Amino acid sequence: MSNDWNHLFNRMPELLAPTMAKDHPNLPVIKEEGCYYYGLDGKQYLDFTSGIATTNVGHRHPKVVQAIKDGADQLLHGPSGVIMYESILRLADELGKVTPGNLDCFFFGNSGTEAIEGALKLARHVTKRPYVVSFLGCFHGRSMGALSVTTSKSKYRQFQQPSGLTYQIPYANPKECPENVDVDVDAYFEDKLEKDFNTLFKHQVTPEEVAAVILEPVLGEGGYIIPPKSWMKKLREICDRHGILLIFDEVQTGFGRTGEWFAAQTFDVVPDIMAIAKGIASGIPLSATVASQELMKKWPLGTHSTTFGGNPIGCSAALATLEVLQEENLLENAKEMGAYALKQLELLKEKHSLIGDIRGVGLMIGIEIVHPETGEPNGDALFEILDLALEQGVLFYFCGNASEVIRMVPPLSVTKEQIDEGLAMLDQAIHLYEQKVAINV
Protein backbone atom coordinates (compact mmCIF):
# COMPACT_ATOMS: atom_id res chain seq x y z
CA MET A 1 0.00 0.00 0.00
CA SER A 2 2.82 2.43 0.88
CA ASN A 3 4.45 1.98 -2.51
CA ASP A 4 1.15 2.71 -4.27
CA TRP A 5 0.62 5.70 -1.98
CA ASN A 6 4.09 7.08 -2.69
CA HIS A 7 3.61 6.61 -6.42
CA LEU A 8 0.29 8.47 -6.34
CA PHE A 9 1.73 11.23 -4.15
CA ASN A 10 4.56 11.77 -6.62
CA ARG A 11 1.97 12.09 -9.40
CA MET A 12 0.00 14.72 -7.49
CA PRO A 13 1.08 17.64 -9.76
CA GLU A 14 -0.46 15.93 -12.80
CA LEU A 15 -3.55 14.55 -11.04
CA LEU A 16 -4.75 17.56 -9.05
CA ALA A 17 -5.21 21.20 -10.01
CA PRO A 18 -2.24 23.13 -8.58
CA THR A 19 -4.51 25.84 -7.18
CA MET A 20 -5.16 23.44 -4.28
CA ALA A 21 -2.53 20.76 -4.64
CA LYS A 22 0.28 23.25 -4.06
CA ASP A 23 -1.04 24.42 -0.71
CA HIS A 24 1.22 24.14 2.34
CA PRO A 25 2.63 21.76 3.54
CA ASN A 26 1.02 18.80 1.72
CA LEU A 27 1.74 16.36 4.53
CA PRO A 28 0.93 12.80 3.34
CA VAL A 29 -1.17 11.16 6.06
CA ILE A 30 -2.78 7.76 6.46
CA LYS A 31 -4.87 8.33 9.59
CA GLU A 32 -6.21 10.97 11.96
CA GLU A 33 -7.38 10.72 15.53
CA GLY A 34 -8.04 13.24 18.30
CA CYS A 35 -5.41 15.98 18.03
CA TYR A 36 -3.09 13.97 15.80
CA TYR A 37 -2.33 13.07 12.21
CA TYR A 38 -0.37 9.94 11.40
CA GLY A 39 1.94 10.37 8.44
CA LEU A 40 2.88 8.09 5.58
CA ASP A 41 6.40 8.37 7.04
CA GLY A 42 5.25 6.56 10.20
CA LYS A 43 5.45 9.69 12.38
CA GLN A 44 2.79 11.17 14.65
CA TYR A 45 2.04 14.87 14.14
CA LEU A 46 0.30 17.14 16.62
CA ASP A 47 -2.37 18.99 14.66
CA PHE A 48 -2.87 22.66 15.49
CA THR A 49 -5.01 23.29 12.38
CA SER A 50 -8.15 21.17 12.97
CA GLY A 51 -8.51 20.89 9.22
CA ILE A 52 -8.62 24.72 9.19
CA ALA A 53 -10.95 25.10 12.18
CA THR A 54 -13.23 22.24 11.14
CA THR A 55 -12.69 19.24 13.41
CA ASN A 56 -13.53 21.17 16.58
CA VAL A 57 -14.30 18.02 18.60
CA GLY A 58 -11.11 16.36 17.40
CA HIS A 59 -10.45 14.06 14.46
CA ARG A 60 -12.69 11.03 14.14
CA HIS A 61 -14.44 11.43 17.47
CA PRO A 62 -15.97 8.00 18.22
CA LYS A 63 -19.46 9.43 18.67
CA VAL A 64 -19.30 11.21 15.32
CA VAL A 65 -17.92 8.15 13.54
CA GLN A 66 -20.70 5.99 14.97
CA ALA A 67 -23.33 8.52 13.90
CA ILE A 68 -21.97 8.41 10.35
CA LYS A 69 -22.06 4.60 10.31
CA ASP A 70 -25.57 4.48 11.72
CA GLY A 71 -26.74 7.13 9.27
CA ALA A 72 -25.31 5.20 6.32
CA ASP A 73 -27.39 2.20 7.35
CA GLN A 74 -30.51 4.26 6.60
CA LEU A 75 -29.89 6.99 3.99
CA LEU A 76 -26.96 8.09 1.84
CA HIS A 77 -28.67 10.87 -0.06
CA GLY A 78 -31.81 12.88 0.46
CA PRO A 79 -32.64 15.93 -1.61
CA SER A 80 -34.67 17.75 1.01
CA GLY A 81 -38.02 18.78 -0.37
CA VAL A 82 -38.20 15.82 -2.71
CA ILE A 83 -38.09 13.61 0.39
CA MET A 84 -37.87 14.52 4.06
CA TYR A 85 -35.88 12.76 6.76
CA GLU A 86 -35.43 12.98 10.51
CA SER A 87 -31.77 14.03 10.76
CA ILE A 88 -32.20 17.33 8.90
CA LEU A 89 -35.22 18.32 11.01
CA ARG A 90 -33.59 17.29 14.28
CA LEU A 91 -30.45 19.22 13.35
CA ALA A 92 -32.41 22.39 12.58
CA ASP A 93 -34.25 22.03 15.88
CA GLU A 94 -31.04 21.54 17.88
CA LEU A 95 -29.13 24.30 16.10
CA GLY A 96 -31.93 26.74 16.86
CA LYS A 97 -31.24 26.20 20.55
CA VAL A 98 -27.65 27.48 20.29
CA THR A 99 -27.76 30.10 17.53
CA PRO A 100 -28.05 33.72 18.71
CA GLY A 101 -31.29 35.65 19.08
CA ASN A 102 -34.18 34.57 16.90
CA LEU A 103 -32.03 32.98 14.20
CA ASP A 104 -33.73 29.59 14.07
CA CYS A 105 -34.53 28.84 10.43
CA PHE A 106 -31.99 27.10 8.18
CA PHE A 107 -31.11 26.58 4.55
CA PHE A 108 -28.55 23.77 4.49
CA GLY A 109 -25.78 23.67 1.90
CA ASN A 110 -22.40 22.00 1.54
CA SER A 111 -19.71 24.63 2.11
CA GLY A 112 -19.02 27.98 3.69
CA THR A 113 -19.02 29.65 0.30
CA GLU A 114 -22.49 28.25 -0.40
CA ALA A 115 -23.73 29.60 2.92
CA ILE A 116 -22.41 33.04 1.96
CA GLU A 117 -24.05 32.89 -1.45
CA GLY A 118 -27.33 32.07 0.26
CA ALA A 119 -26.94 34.92 2.73
CA LEU A 120 -26.28 37.47 -0.03
CA LYS A 121 -29.21 36.26 -2.11
CA LEU A 122 -31.56 36.27 0.87
CA ALA A 123 -30.58 39.81 1.86
CA ARG A 124 -31.05 41.20 -1.64
CA HIS A 125 -34.35 39.40 -2.14
CA VAL A 126 -35.84 40.51 1.17
CA THR A 127 -34.76 44.16 0.96
CA LYS A 128 -35.16 44.57 -2.84
CA ARG A 129 -31.88 46.50 -2.68
CA PRO A 130 -28.91 45.72 -4.96
CA TYR A 131 -25.74 46.60 -3.05
CA VAL A 132 -23.68 44.94 -0.31
CA VAL A 133 -20.96 46.50 1.82
CA SER A 134 -18.07 44.34 3.04
CA PHE A 135 -14.83 45.03 4.89
CA LEU A 136 -11.25 45.10 3.65
CA GLY A 137 -9.39 41.99 4.77
CA CYS A 138 -12.41 39.70 5.08
CA PHE A 139 -12.55 36.33 3.37
CA HIS A 140 -15.97 34.96 2.36
CA GLY A 141 -15.12 32.41 -0.31
CA ARG A 142 -14.02 32.17 -3.92
CA SER A 143 -17.23 31.54 -5.89
CA MET A 144 -18.29 34.62 -7.81
CA GLY A 145 -20.88 36.01 -5.41
CA ALA A 146 -18.72 35.36 -2.36
CA LEU A 147 -15.68 36.65 -4.23
CA SER A 148 -17.39 39.99 -4.75
CA VAL A 149 -17.16 40.60 -0.99
CA THR A 150 -13.81 38.85 -0.40
CA THR A 151 -10.79 41.15 -0.04
CA SER A 152 -8.25 39.29 2.10
CA LYS A 153 -5.90 38.93 -0.90
CA SER A 154 -6.14 40.63 -4.27
CA LYS A 155 -4.96 37.48 -6.09
CA TYR A 156 -8.30 35.81 -5.36
CA ARG A 157 -10.04 38.45 -7.50
CA GLN A 158 -7.41 38.66 -10.24
CA PHE A 159 -8.94 38.51 -13.75
CA GLN A 160 -12.32 37.53 -12.28
CA GLN A 161 -14.10 40.91 -12.33
CA PRO A 162 -16.49 40.01 -9.52
CA SER A 163 -19.82 41.82 -9.32
CA GLY A 164 -19.56 45.57 -9.01
CA LEU A 165 -22.58 45.62 -6.70
CA THR A 166 -20.34 45.74 -3.64
CA TYR A 167 -18.37 48.36 -1.75
CA GLN A 168 -15.64 47.95 0.84
CA ILE A 169 -14.66 49.95 3.91
CA PRO A 170 -11.82 49.37 6.42
CA TYR A 171 -12.03 46.73 9.14
CA ALA A 172 -11.18 47.71 12.72
CA ASN A 173 -7.63 46.61 13.39
CA PRO A 174 -6.56 47.59 16.94
CA LYS A 175 -2.93 47.76 15.76
CA GLU A 176 -3.85 50.71 13.56
CA CYS A 177 -5.11 52.86 16.41
CA PRO A 178 -2.94 56.00 16.80
CA GLU A 179 -0.24 55.59 19.43
CA ASN A 180 -1.53 58.31 21.68
CA VAL A 181 -2.04 57.77 25.39
CA ASP A 182 -5.12 60.03 25.27
CA VAL A 183 -6.85 58.00 22.54
CA ASP A 184 -9.69 55.77 23.68
CA VAL A 185 -9.51 52.74 21.38
CA ASP A 186 -13.23 52.01 21.50
CA ALA A 187 -14.22 55.62 20.85
CA TYR A 188 -11.64 55.94 18.06
CA PHE A 189 -12.97 52.97 16.09
CA GLU A 190 -16.62 53.82 16.70
CA ASP A 191 -16.02 57.33 15.34
CA LYS A 192 -13.98 55.99 12.42
CA LEU A 193 -16.72 53.53 11.47
CA GLU A 194 -19.29 56.32 11.45
CA LYS A 195 -17.02 58.46 9.25
CA ASP A 196 -16.28 55.58 6.87
CA PHE A 197 -19.97 54.93 6.33
CA ASN A 198 -20.73 58.63 5.95
CA THR A 199 -18.05 58.92 3.27
CA LEU A 200 -19.37 55.85 1.49
CA PHE A 201 -22.95 57.08 1.60
CA LYS A 202 -22.01 60.59 0.42
CA HIS A 203 -19.78 59.61 -2.47
CA GLN A 204 -20.56 56.09 -3.71
CA VAL A 205 -23.91 54.62 -2.73
CA THR A 206 -26.96 55.78 -0.79
CA PRO A 207 -27.92 53.76 2.29
CA GLU A 208 -31.37 53.14 0.79
CA GLU A 209 -29.67 51.05 -1.90
CA VAL A 210 -27.68 48.85 0.48
CA ALA A 211 -29.20 45.44 1.19
CA ALA A 212 -26.62 44.20 3.69
CA VAL A 213 -23.33 44.65 5.43
CA ILE A 214 -21.29 41.45 5.68
CA LEU A 215 -18.21 40.70 7.77
CA GLU A 216 -16.31 38.08 9.69
CA PRO A 217 -16.66 38.92 13.41
CA VAL A 218 -13.00 37.89 13.67
CA LEU A 219 -10.89 37.98 10.52
CA GLY A 220 -9.87 34.45 9.56
CA GLU A 221 -7.78 34.17 6.42
CA GLY A 222 -7.20 37.91 6.69
CA GLY A 223 -4.93 37.51 9.71
CA TYR A 224 -6.94 36.70 12.86
CA ILE A 225 -7.76 40.32 13.61
CA ILE A 226 -10.10 40.86 16.58
CA PRO A 227 -12.09 44.11 16.44
CA PRO A 228 -13.28 45.99 19.55
CA LYS A 229 -16.64 44.83 20.89
CA SER A 230 -17.95 48.40 20.87
CA TRP A 231 -17.13 48.70 17.15
CA MET A 232 -19.29 45.67 16.44
CA LYS A 233 -22.16 47.15 18.44
CA LYS A 234 -21.79 50.42 16.54
CA LEU A 235 -22.03 48.51 13.28
CA ARG A 236 -25.29 46.94 14.44
CA GLU A 237 -26.63 50.40 15.29
CA ILE A 238 -25.70 51.84 11.88
CA CYS A 239 -27.38 48.97 10.07
CA ASP A 240 -30.54 49.38 12.16
CA ARG A 241 -30.56 53.11 11.48
CA HIS A 242 -30.67 52.58 7.71
CA GLY A 243 -32.72 49.39 7.47
CA ILE A 244 -29.66 47.43 6.33
CA LEU A 245 -29.37 43.71 7.15
CA LEU A 246 -26.27 42.61 9.04
CA ILE A 247 -24.65 39.34 7.93
CA PHE A 248 -22.10 37.53 10.09
CA ASP A 249 -19.78 35.12 8.31
CA GLU A 250 -19.28 32.61 11.13
CA VAL A 251 -17.85 29.90 8.91
CA GLN A 252 -14.60 29.84 10.88
CA THR A 253 -15.66 31.40 14.19
CA GLY A 254 -18.63 29.11 14.80
CA PHE A 255 -19.20 26.08 16.98
CA GLY A 256 -17.13 27.05 19.97
CA ARG A 257 -14.02 28.36 18.25
CA THR A 258 -14.18 31.72 20.09
CA GLY A 259 -15.28 30.14 23.38
CA GLU A 260 -19.00 30.66 22.74
CA TRP A 261 -21.23 28.82 20.31
CA PHE A 262 -20.78 31.70 17.89
CA ALA A 263 -18.78 34.92 17.81
CA ALA A 264 -22.08 36.79 17.78
CA GLN A 265 -22.42 35.73 21.41
CA THR A 266 -18.79 36.61 22.12
CA PHE A 267 -19.45 40.17 20.89
CA ASP A 268 -23.03 40.28 22.20
CA VAL A 269 -24.37 41.34 18.80
CA VAL A 270 -27.14 39.47 16.99
CA PRO A 271 -26.93 39.65 13.18
CA ASP A 272 -29.92 39.31 10.83
CA ILE A 273 -28.33 36.49 8.84
CA MET A 274 -25.48 34.08 9.57
CA ALA A 275 -23.39 31.79 7.40
CA ILE A 276 -22.11 28.71 9.26
CA ALA A 277 -20.03 25.72 8.16
CA LYS A 278 -16.61 24.20 9.02
CA GLY A 279 -17.06 22.98 12.63
CA ILE A 280 -20.71 22.04 12.06
CA ALA A 281 -20.15 18.36 11.17
CA SER A 282 -16.54 17.46 12.04
CA GLY A 283 -15.37 17.45 8.42
CA ILE A 284 -18.41 16.08 6.61
CA PRO A 285 -19.41 18.74 4.03
CA LEU A 286 -22.29 20.73 5.49
CA SER A 287 -23.19 24.39 5.93
CA ALA A 288 -26.19 26.59 6.54
CA THR A 289 -27.54 30.02 5.82
CA VAL A 290 -29.37 31.02 9.01
CA ALA A 291 -32.01 33.68 9.64
CA SER A 292 -35.25 34.19 11.50
CA GLN A 293 -38.42 32.46 10.32
CA GLU A 294 -39.84 35.89 9.50
CA LEU A 295 -36.97 36.67 7.13
CA MET A 296 -36.81 33.20 5.57
CA LYS A 297 -40.56 33.26 4.77
CA LYS A 298 -39.92 36.17 2.39
CA TRP A 299 -37.80 33.85 0.25
CA PRO A 300 -40.39 32.03 -1.96
CA LEU A 301 -40.29 28.44 -3.18
CA GLY A 302 -37.53 27.75 -5.69
CA THR A 303 -35.71 31.05 -5.21
CA HIS A 304 -32.79 29.09 -3.82
CA SER A 305 -32.25 25.34 -3.88
CA THR A 306 -29.72 22.53 -3.59
CA THR A 307 -29.29 18.87 -4.52
CA PHE A 308 -26.72 17.80 -1.95
CA GLY A 309 -27.19 20.35 0.85
CA GLY A 310 -28.34 18.94 4.17
CA ASN A 311 -27.12 15.45 3.32
CA PRO A 312 -28.59 12.99 5.85
CA ILE A 313 -25.18 11.61 6.88
CA GLY A 314 -23.82 15.13 7.28
CA CYS A 315 -26.79 16.03 9.46
CA SER A 316 -26.22 12.93 11.60
CA ALA A 317 -22.56 13.88 12.01
CA ALA A 318 -23.57 17.42 12.95
CA LEU A 319 -26.01 16.20 15.61
CA ALA A 320 -23.27 14.06 17.15
CA THR A 321 -20.84 16.99 16.98
CA LEU A 322 -23.27 19.22 18.88
CA GLU A 323 -23.69 16.54 21.53
CA VAL A 324 -19.93 16.17 21.99
CA LEU A 325 -19.41 19.94 22.27
CA GLN A 326 -21.98 20.01 25.08
CA GLU A 327 -21.18 16.75 26.88
CA GLU A 328 -17.42 17.38 27.00
CA ASN A 329 -17.73 21.10 27.89
CA LEU A 330 -15.57 22.02 24.92
CA LEU A 331 -16.67 25.66 24.81
CA GLU A 332 -15.32 26.15 28.32
CA ASN A 333 -12.18 24.23 27.42
CA ALA A 334 -11.68 26.54 24.44
CA LYS A 335 -11.76 29.56 26.75
CA GLU A 336 -9.41 28.03 29.31
CA MET A 337 -6.92 26.53 26.86
CA GLY A 338 -7.01 29.64 24.68
CA ALA A 339 -6.14 31.86 27.63
CA TYR A 340 -3.38 29.46 28.64
CA ALA A 341 -1.93 29.34 25.13
CA LEU A 342 -1.85 33.15 24.91
CA LYS A 343 0.11 33.36 28.18
CA GLN A 344 2.61 30.80 26.97
CA LEU A 345 2.97 32.56 23.64
CA GLU A 346 3.73 35.86 25.38
CA LEU A 347 6.61 34.08 27.14
CA LEU A 348 7.76 32.77 23.78
CA LYS A 349 7.62 36.28 22.33
CA GLU A 350 10.10 37.44 24.97
CA LYS A 351 12.62 34.92 23.58
CA HIS A 352 12.18 35.62 19.87
CA SER A 353 12.27 39.03 18.19
CA LEU A 354 10.69 37.42 15.10
CA ILE A 355 7.38 37.18 16.93
CA GLY A 356 5.28 40.31 16.57
CA ASP A 357 1.68 40.67 17.66
CA ILE A 358 -0.05 37.78 19.40
CA ARG A 359 -3.83 37.84 19.38
CA GLY A 360 -6.59 35.41 20.03
CA VAL A 361 -10.08 34.72 21.27
CA GLY A 362 -10.87 31.24 22.51
CA LEU A 363 -8.81 28.80 20.46
CA MET A 364 -8.57 31.07 17.44
CA ILE A 365 -5.01 32.36 17.83
CA GLY A 366 -2.74 34.31 15.49
CA ILE A 367 1.04 34.58 15.90
CA GLU A 368 2.55 37.30 13.73
CA ILE A 369 6.02 36.76 12.25
CA VAL A 370 7.91 39.97 11.49
CA HIS A 371 11.29 41.33 10.44
CA PRO A 372 12.92 42.09 13.83
CA GLU A 373 14.50 45.32 12.59
CA THR A 374 11.43 46.86 10.97
CA GLY A 375 8.43 45.05 12.43
CA GLU A 376 7.15 44.51 8.88
CA PRO A 377 5.37 41.25 7.92
CA ASN A 378 7.75 38.39 7.19
CA GLY A 379 5.92 35.72 5.21
CA ASP A 380 9.14 34.13 3.93
CA ALA A 381 10.32 33.44 7.47
CA LEU A 382 6.89 32.13 8.40
CA PHE A 383 6.93 29.34 5.83
CA GLU A 384 10.43 28.26 6.83
CA ILE A 385 9.36 28.21 10.47
CA LEU A 386 6.27 26.15 9.63
CA ASP A 387 8.43 23.64 7.76
CA LEU A 388 10.82 23.39 10.70
CA ALA A 389 7.90 23.00 13.10
CA LEU A 390 6.55 20.17 10.98
CA GLU A 391 9.93 18.46 11.18
CA GLN A 392 9.64 18.75 14.97
CA GLY A 393 6.20 17.14 14.82
CA VAL A 394 3.56 19.90 14.93
CA LEU A 395 1.37 21.19 12.11
CA PHE A 396 0.36 24.86 11.91
CA TYR A 397 -1.23 26.84 9.07
CA PHE A 398 -0.86 30.43 7.87
CA CYS A 399 -3.00 33.48 7.22
CA GLY A 400 -2.69 37.23 6.75
CA ASN A 401 -2.39 39.41 3.66
CA ALA A 402 1.34 38.71 3.40
CA SER A 403 1.02 35.17 4.86
CA GLU A 404 2.75 36.53 7.94
CA VAL A 405 0.51 35.09 10.67
CA ILE A 406 0.76 31.57 12.07
CA ARG A 407 -2.76 30.24 12.51
CA MET A 408 -3.09 28.19 15.72
CA VAL A 409 -6.48 26.46 15.77
CA PRO A 410 -6.21 23.11 17.56
CA PRO A 411 -9.27 20.99 18.26
CA LEU A 412 -11.31 22.40 21.15
CA SER A 413 -10.51 19.19 23.02
CA VAL A 414 -6.80 20.09 23.20
CA THR A 415 -5.11 19.66 26.58
CA LYS A 416 -2.63 21.84 28.43
CA GLU A 417 0.01 19.16 27.89
CA GLN A 418 -0.58 19.19 24.13
CA ILE A 419 -0.34 22.98 24.02
CA ASP A 420 2.94 22.82 25.92
CA GLU A 421 4.19 20.13 23.55
CA GLY A 422 3.22 22.02 20.43
CA LEU A 423 4.61 25.37 21.56
CA ALA A 424 7.87 23.72 22.63
CA MET A 425 8.20 22.45 19.05
CA LEU A 426 7.40 25.90 17.69
CA ASP A 427 10.02 27.39 20.03
CA GLN A 428 12.59 24.96 18.68
CA ALA A 429 11.58 25.67 15.08
CA ILE A 430 12.03 29.43 15.54
CA HIS A 431 15.37 28.81 17.28
CA LEU A 432 16.58 26.70 14.35
CA TYR A 433 15.47 29.37 11.88
CA GLU A 434 17.30 32.06 13.87
CA GLN A 435 20.45 29.94 13.85
CA LYS A 436 20.19 29.46 10.10
CA VAL A 437 19.74 33.18 9.46
CA ALA A 438 22.69 34.01 11.70
CA ILE A 439 24.88 31.51 9.84
CA ASN A 440 23.87 32.91 6.45
CA VAL A 441 24.48 36.54 7.35
148-194 pLDDT per residue, tens = 999 998 888 888 877 779 999 999 999 888 887 678 899 999 999 99
Give dist(CA 215, CA 140) in Å, integer: 8
DSSP assigned state of 287: E
pLDDT at residue 107 is higher than 70? yes
Distance of CA 418 to the CA centre of its chain: 22
Give dist(CA 123, CA 118) in Å, integer: 9
Q: What is the pLDDT of residue 440?
A: 53
pLDDT at residue 420 is higher than 90? yes
Q: What is the pLDDT of residue 156?
A: 84
Cβ proximity of 94 and 123 under 8 Å: no
CA torsion 132-133-136-140 (nearest 10°) is: -40
User: How does pLDDT run across 375-387, given as a tens digit for each residue?
Assistant: 999 999 999 999 9
3-state helix, strand, coil in the chain (%, to 5): 45, 15, 40
Mean pLDDT (whole number) for 62-90: 95
pLDDT at residue 2 is higher than 80? no
pLDDT higher at 146 or 362: 362
Gyration radius from the chain CA atoms: 22
Q: What is the pLDDT of residue 273?
A: 98
DSSP assignment of 65-111 equals HHHHHHHHTT-S---BTTB--HHHHHHHHHHTTTSSTT--EEEEESS
Of 248, 223, 225, the C-alpha closest to 235 is 248
Helix orientation angle between 62-72 and 312-327, rounded to the nearest 10 degrees: 150
Band of residue 439 on the pLDDT scale cut at 50, 70, 90: low
pLDDT at residue 79 is higher than 60? yes
User: How does pLDDT run across 262-284, given as a tens digit for each residue?
Assistant: 999 999 999 999 999 999 999 99
pLDDT at residue 346 is higher than 80? yes
Band of residue 78 on the pLDDT scale cut at 50, 70, 90: confident
**pTM of the shown model:** 0.96
Q: What is the pLDDT of residue 4?
A: 86
pLDDT at residue 22 is higher than 80? no
Q: What is the pLDDT of residue 247?
A: 98
Give dist(CA 230, CA 428) in Å, integer: 39
- Strand 394-395 with 287-291, pairing: unpaired
- Whole-Å CA distances, 133 to 31, 123, 210, 214: 42, 12, 7, 6
Q: What is the pLDDT of residue 441?
A: 42
